[in-house]
A and B are shown apart, each in its own frame.
Chain A
Amino acid sequence: MMVATAEKVSAVAYGAARRRWASKKVRVRLGNLLSLRWAAIALILVGWFVYYPIVDNFIVSTTDEDIYTGEVTNVGLANYDRLLHDPIVLVALFNNCLYALISVVFQVFGAFLLAAIIEDLRSERWRRFWRAVYFVPSAISITVTGLLFYFIYQPQIGLLDAALARLGLGQLVQPWLGNEHTAIYAIIAMSQWQGFGYTTLLFAIAIQKIPRDLYDAATMDGAGALRRLWNITFPLTREMTGLMVIVTVAGAFQVFNEVMVMTAGGPNNSSQVLGTWLY
């Protein structure tokens, strides 16, 4: 009798424990599901504003629309075929790649070197001064900079040709934006002038975060400036360098304003980039 009662009590306790366990499991699952609602909001937003436009763009790219009549014809991949056989697209792609390559050299590695030199100065006042000097061009609108350089490159009244002539380099005088072989380089040069200071400032901030003790120890060990740059500064700013490479390359493929203002892609489409040719 006693055994039977004990068994009964044990079964009841087991049942209650099981129910508690099941209820806890449901609560945990529910909690997990509820916590997903925050992720769902983010997913919906990203899906709507990032992935939907990508899919929609692809759909639009398989059609040919007459903006005047509103007629839409499904052309499959014909637009891509046209794109691949369009020689100007290759010119534009080459110009974008050139833009990226030169920008990485000047705006990443050049800016890194300049930042290292500035941060190596003893006087804080001079460090601030040079940071400001190099940063000022970045504060000017790209459209205004484009117009400014249009006048600098202008063949008749431009500062560049006048300076070259004064320096006895008359053989180099030419219509920088009017020559098919120099137009894109003239635009890229302007862009380096404009963007150089910004990346220099970012590298300067990264360099400031490196503990001075490392430089002091290296100096005591007899390391020269170049050795310190290569063995301390460069490795400890590699995250910033990586980020700058990504940002600069992405920026080079989004170029539009400077080309539109200075040459509108000319002469003879020689300075087209993907953005302007698409426009």
Chain B
Amino acid sequence: MKCSLQVVAVSVAAVSSMGLSISSSISAEAVAADPDAKVEYSGTLSVLTKFGSQQLSPYFVDVAKQYEKLHPGVKVELIQESDDSVKGKTKTLVASDSLPDIYFSWTGSWGANFVRGNRAVDLTKIIGPGTDWGKTLSPAAVKAFEYNGKLYGIPLYQDAKFMGYNKQVFGKLGLKTPANFEELLVSCDAIRISGMTPISLGNKEAWPVIHYIGQLLAYNVPQATLERDFDPATAQYTDPGYVDALKQLSELLERCTDGAAVNGTSYSSAVQAFSNTQSAMYYQEILEFDSSATPDTALKPADFGFFKLPVPDGAKGDLKAIEGAPEGYMISSASTNIPLAIDFMKFVTSPENGQVLSAPPYGQPSATIGGASASTMSKAVVEGIKHINSASYLMPWLDTANPPRVAAAWLSSLQALTGGSMSPEQVIEEVRRTASAAK
């Protein structure tokens, strides 16, 4: 018996060490793009996009077809995921060491993970300031993918959050676009009295409310403090602006939305309610402008208006900040044809393709200089881009700026705040506790 136990113990140890050595051996090495590398137009390129929705998926399908037509030896394989599913899909691909040649990435800590693991190609020499490709892209958007002084991402479009509203409803009720946060709440009261939901909100997925608090935090907490707290090593979450912002959010949820019911509603149902003119406002990304009001929806593009979430009185943060960030793509360091992957992304970010991307039905404001033409884009998107360009600070999405555990604490605590089971003070205490444990 003793002997067999020893055999089992030795076997387990051997298997364990094998497992450890296998896992350790898959860590990738840093790869930098070579500006002089020759492109071989042959083989298959795999691309993981975030354009899995019915409205957006044709964009990459068409671009891939055009590229394959130009280079008959190349086949582009698309893996198109939605905003929600791309997170899980990417993690699975990373864990199985099978990232596609080109993959979607947010800025902030999401992108930093790929850089930390040497999963992304250093593109500094081909996309940096002064390079041919770099000159064609918005410098701020390129810089958003900077990590440790190097550039790793190819920005495809810019994104930011605005409050979309129904001009007809506002007109009928004699309301003007609110000049400050208090006026927004008063407008909500008036809309509710008229029998309509002021702001449709679906928080089943938990991240929609994160977007509200992100903008309110940018208004209430100084930028330097926010950035210190995003870093697990220095996070404190002690600034009183956090509780102020959460109190403002509580009031907005109570007076402008369906309250606790929003936790049982999906964000797509909320967009639908706005498009069907069942609500007067919907807080949305600029990317959604062209889909929430179309010639086919009850809310027509002419009746669609937007404004930046109004600033609360006495806010001590950056009042000109706007919540948003460019979104883009990275090249896998494990790709067997990096020059071809870069060439494909140069094609995707050409001014011609940028103009297609910026115009309806896609409405994704291209990060390419000359990739947005006011003549083909919807008026609202053109105006939105002006707001983004004039913003003093782009506040990153809280769930991608924070480490996963802290992001999870924000998500669940804000659902509790929305449902009324946590107070603003308890929310920030929970975030502080999690951030401290994550150090």
Contact = CB atoms under 8 A, between A and B. Distances in A.
In which size bucket is the chain A interface? 35 or more
Given A155-B258, A264-B206, A177 B263 contact: yes
Interface string B302-331: 000000000000000000000000000000
What 4 A-B pairs come out closest when comparing CB atoms? A178-B264, A68-B117, A178-B263, A70-B27
Contacts of A264: 204-206
Interface of A: 55-56, 59-60, 62-63, 65-72, 74, 150, 153-157, 174-180, 183, 263-264, 266-269
Contacts of A263: 204
Contact of B419 (A71, A156, A267): A267
Contacts of B15: 55-56, 59
A153 B12 CA distance: 49
Interface string B11-34: 010011001100111111000000
A59 B415 contact: no
B422 interface: yes
B416 interface: yes
Contacts of B20: 63, 72, 74
Interface in B22-48: 23-28
Contacts of A177: 204, 263-264
A180 B421 contact: yes
B98 to A, nearest CB: 12
Among B19, B26, B264, B412, max chain A CB count under 10 A is at B264
Interface in B260-291: 260-266, 269, 273, 278
Contact of A266 (B26, B95, B415): B415
Given A179-B419, A268-B422, A70 B28 contact: yes
A70 B16 CA distance: 16
B12 A55 contact: yes
Interface string B77-104: 0000000000000010011010000000
A227 B19 CA distance: 61
Nearest to A69: B117
Given A56-B19, A180-B421, 4 more contacts: A150-B266, A154-B264, A183-B264, A268-B422
B31 to A, nearest CB: 15
Interface string B112-138: 011011110000000000000000000
B264 A70 contact: no
Interface residues of B, number: 45
B158 interface: no
Q: Chain A contact residues: over half helix, strand or loop, or mixed?
A: loop
Contact of B264 (A60, A62, A179): A179
B28 A180 contact: no
A68 to B, nearest CB: 3
B114 A68 contact: yes
Q: Chain B contact residues: over half helix, strand or loop, or mixed?
A: helix
A62 B205 CA distance: 32
Contacts of A150: 266
Contacts of A69: 27, 116-118
Given A70-B23, A155-B258, A267 B119 contact: no
B116 A68 contact: yes
Contacts of A176: 264
Nearest to B116: A68
Given A68-B116, A156-B265, A268 B260 contact: no
A160 B204 CA distance: 18
24 contacts: A55-B12, A59-B16, A63-B19, A63-B20, A63-B23, A67-B95, A69-B27, A70-B24, A70-B117, A71-B27, A72-B20, A150-B266, A156-B269, A157-B269, A177-B263, A178-B262, A179-B264, A179-B419, A264-B205, A264-B206, A267-B264, A267-B415, A268-B413, A269-B412
Contacts of A59: 12, 15-16, 19
B264 A153 contact: yes
A268 B12 contact: no
Contacts of A67: 91, 94-95, 117
B230 to A, nearest CB: 18
A155 B415 contact: no
B248 interface: no
A56 B263 CA distance: 39
B220 interface: no
Nearest to B20: A72
Given A155-B265, A268-B421, A178 B260 contact: yes
A264 B94 CA distance: 22
Contacts of B260: 175, 178-179
B210 to A, nearest CB: 13
A266 B412 contact: yes
Nearest to B22: A72
Contact of A68 (B25, B119, B413, B415): B119
A267 B25 CA distance: 40
B418 interface: yes
